[in-house]
Amino acid sequence: MIMKNSFIKKFLPLLVISGMLFTSCYKKYDPKTYQPAFTVNGYTSSSAIGAGSLVGYWAFDGSYIDSISKVVATNVNTSFTGGFKGQALQGADKGYVISDLPNAIKNLNSFTIDYWLKTPNTSGIITPITISRDDQFWGALDMFYENGGRTDATANLKVHFNGQSEVWFTNGFVSNPWSGWQNIALTYDAATSTFTLYQNGNVIASQTQAGLGNIVFPATATKLIFGTSQFQTNPSLGTAGGVQSWAGYLTGQLDEVRIYNKALSASDIQALMVLQGKGK
């Protein structure tokens, strides 16, 4: 018994120290470590969608620079605020952002334009994006909520293209457009000459312009404008001669503007929307 007690007294401290070392080396089980990566339609991040086809990206995280071309846009009376992801462009009356049109965008054949928009129902047409055309009243590409026919429940998001021929795509009725952040996407597939308009990942309109083929922006398409139409800038662009009383400015927020040189599929647009919502 004396020998047993002596053995315990001698080796107990070693056992305690060994236990402490084992405990300190043990890594607590974290179930998140073993969870599979979050995927949507095979993608784990928004940057993987259309990889290699992204030709313009404005995150508006405190900067007016296109992340792809590095072209710096000019701010006129706009600012930054909390966005759908990070910060967003905060529009204002008589406010807009204007940039030289990057060559990769000017040379598009097919395309996708995708962005997040949050705006009140204000007076005048509301124009998130314009590609200017110096020799015409309207731009080479215009996307705007028309002035008439807007209600609290719906609005007509018109698309106008004026390159090798003129196309008015006017049946894009958006539901509850003023109720918070909306994901808007416009695609053009040159192989089928088809324009498709999406709201929150759902097709809301489609139009085929037979024989249009590869789009061709004219040499007079020189500027990219966020927040208003080409004739509302100072100085006014195009042939309108000045500001129009029936037109307005985006006074809400614009965020995560992406332009691709191909028509993304519906599943890709849905994945892009969900992954951005997850901050990925």
pLDDT by residue (tens digit) across 69-100?
999 999 999 999 999 999 999 999 999 999 99
Q: Both 25 and 160 in a single domain?
A: no
Is 71 contained in some domain?
A: yes
Q: Is the pLDDT of residue 145 over 50?
A: yes
Are 104 and 234 found together in one domain? yes
Average pLDDT of every residue of the chain:
89
Same domain assignment for residues 113 and 221 = yes
Least confident of 38-47, 115-124, 182-191, 231-240: 38-47
pLDDT at 5 (0 to 100): 52
> What is the DSSP-derived secondary structure letter of residue 35?
S
pLDDT band at 246 (very low <50, low <70, confident <90, very high): very high
Clarify whether residues 25 and 154 are in a common domain: no
pTM of the model: 0.86
Burial (CB count <10 Å: 0-12, 13-18, 19+), residue 23: exposed
- CATH number of the domain bearing residue 271: 2.60.120.200
pLDDT at 45: 86
pLDDT given at position 162: 97
- 101 and 30 in a common domain: no
Characterize 100-116 residue by residue with b for buried, 16 or more Cβ atoms within 10 angstroms of its Cβ, and e for exposed: ebbeebbebebbbbbbb
> Is residue 18 situated within a structural domain?
yes
231 CA to centre of own chain: 24
In a domain, 47, yes or no: no
Domain assignment present for residue 40? The answer is: no
**Same domain flag for 13 and 103:** no
Q: Output 2 or 119, whichever has higher pLDDT.
A: 119
- Alpha carbon separation from 40 to 124, 138, 276, 277 (Å, rounded): 38, 38, 11, 12
Q: Please give the share of the chain, as a percent, with pLDDT higher than 90.
A: 75
- How many angstroms separate the Cα of 170 from the Cα of each of 95, 143, 190, 196, 237? 26, 10, 19, 11, 23
What does the pLDDT look like over 10-60, one tens digit per residue?
Answer: 544 544 444 544 444 455 656 655 566 768 767 888 888 888 999 999 999
Residue 137 domain flag: yes
In a domain, 190, yes or no: yes
Range of the domain at 221: 55-277
**Range 157-171 average pLDDT:** 95
Task: Please tell me whether residues 170 and 128 are part of one structural domain.
Answer: yes
Q: Which of 95-99, 166-170, 244-248, 270-274 has the lowest mean pLDDT?
A: 270-274
Q: Is the pLDDT of residue 154 over 50?
A: yes
Domain assignment of residue 48, yes or no: no
Q: Are residues 223 and 100 in the same domain?
A: yes
pLDDT higher than threshold 50 for residue 217? yes
Backbone angles phi, psi at 273, to 5 degrees: -65, -45
User: Domain check: are 23 and 81 in the same one?
Assistant: no
- Predicted pLDDT of residue 265: 94
Flag whether pLDDT at 161 surpasses 60: yes
Q: What's the mean pLDDT in 181-189?
A: 97
Domain membership of residue 167 (yes or no) is yes
